[in-house]
Amino acid sequence: EISFCAHAILGREALVVQYTLEDEDYVDNPLVIGEPFIRFYAGQPIQLDAVNLGTLCLIDSRPRRFSETDKDTLNSLALWVENELKLSLYSVSQKELMEKVTSLQRKSLVDSDTGCWNQKGLDKLASSEMSRARRNLETVALILMEVGYQPELSKFIVGTTRQMFYKAIAQRIRRSLRPHDMVAKLKENYFLVFLGDCNNEMATTLTQRILRNISVERLRLSDKTIKPTVKVGVTCNEETDIWSFTL
For the stretch 113-141, pLDDT in tens is 888 889 988 888 877 778 777 887 888 89
CA 106 to chain centre: 25
Give me the chain's average pLDDT, please.
Answer: 84
Instruction: List Cα–Cα distances, 234 to 5, 127, 139, 207, 243, in angstroms.
Output: 39, 19, 13, 8, 16
Residue 246 is predicted with a pLDDT of 55
What share of the chain has pLDDT > 70, as a percent? 87
For strand 51-60 and strand 40-48, is the pairing parallel, antiparallel, or unpaired? Answer: antiparallel
CA distance 33 to 39: 10
Cα separation, 40 vs 4, in Å, equals 10
Average of per-residue pLDDT across 203-222: 84
Q: Is residue 10's pLDDT more than 80?
A: yes
Instruction: Name the pLDDT band for 49 (thresholds 50, 70, 90).
Output: low
- Which of 44-48, 174-178, 183-187, 190-194 shows the highest mean pLDDT? 190-194
Q: What's the mean pLDDT in 163-167?
A: 87
Q: How does 75-107 read in b/e, with b if 16+ C-beta sit within 10 Å?
A: eeebeebbeebebeeebebbeebeeeeeeeeee
Give the residue with greater pLDDT, 179 vs 193. 193
Q: What angle do CA 172, 184, 210 make, to 5 degrees?
A: 30
Predicted confidence at residue 178, as pLDDT, reads 82
Nearest Cα to Cα of residue 182 among 143, 135, 134, 208: 143
pLDDT digits (tens, 9 = 90+) for 75-102: 888 877 876 776 555 455 666 676 666 6
What length is written for the chain?
A: 247
